[in-house]
Structure 1
Amino acid sequence: MQDNHYEACPVARSIQLIGDRWALLIVRDAFDGITRFSDFQKSLNVARNILSDRLKKLLEAKILQVRPASDGSAYQEYILTRQGLALFPIIVGLRQWGEQFLFSEQEPHSKLIDIKTGLELAPMVPINQDGNAVSSKDTQVKKIKG
């Protein structure tokens, strides 16, 4: 039985669904254009049973959907749904946080760039309804009674 705090917390529910390392890396790879089981496995170097389990969970959660392979082969492809595409800011936020805090200046790593300009994305920051940046001290959680 889940406690009321979990049920009322969107962060807890989100982590329960996508907080697993493999699930997030699958979503990251899907954003990078990977669509086939074998390509996910090669990219992630993950055991087949773990990959199968996480893909199944992402399908059940409607984060991914399956379609016939675009090349007409007998394979199937995993593609992000609208719900899956909405995870892009989370992936970008994790990437930017990692770039800022987990790599030394000399250490090689990847960068996310805008394909139109070739420039890195600006750091993500939460904004209010007026478009102004806000920090944690500018916000509070409001409980909504159902």
Structure 2
Amino acid sequence: MAKSHGEKLIANNKKAYHDYFIKDTYEAGIELFGTEVKSLRMGKCSLKESFIRIDNKGEVMVYGMHISPYEKGNIFNKDPLRPRKLLLHKYEINKLKAEIEQKGFTIVPLKVYFKGGLAKVEIGLAQGKKLYDKRETLAKKDQQRDIERAFANKGKY
């Protein structure tokens, strides 16, 4: 049975793009148990209020990522909010650790998806936005939406 190499998006963290400037992105594997994978395949995942930390052992962990319990999993289900280990190369972890020691940088999960049958998490090295930056971003989105509407309405006359 051949595996498809397409990506299937499971969860997206739109709030991260609103609250942070994303400087760099990385693709990480995620350590999951069987019932969690089945639940992910059904699309039962939320990244709201989730964050990533590098612990003192050099492991990258995601906290607050909610994977709903699989309904047919009974005793094999794990805690939906348990911390999960992310799988990155050592040089990537060292690079991230050096970056977050600088003032104002953090690591946030951006999306969860399946790639080639494996669950992946896209994480971003992020810097927090100020309130005026958020307003500026919203104003640009509104302008872009108005321009697109104008072009769409232009052809209907």
Q: Greater share of strand residues, 1 or 2?
A: 2
Q: Greater share of helix residues, 1 or 2?
A: 1
Q: TM-score, normalised by structure 1?
A: 0.27
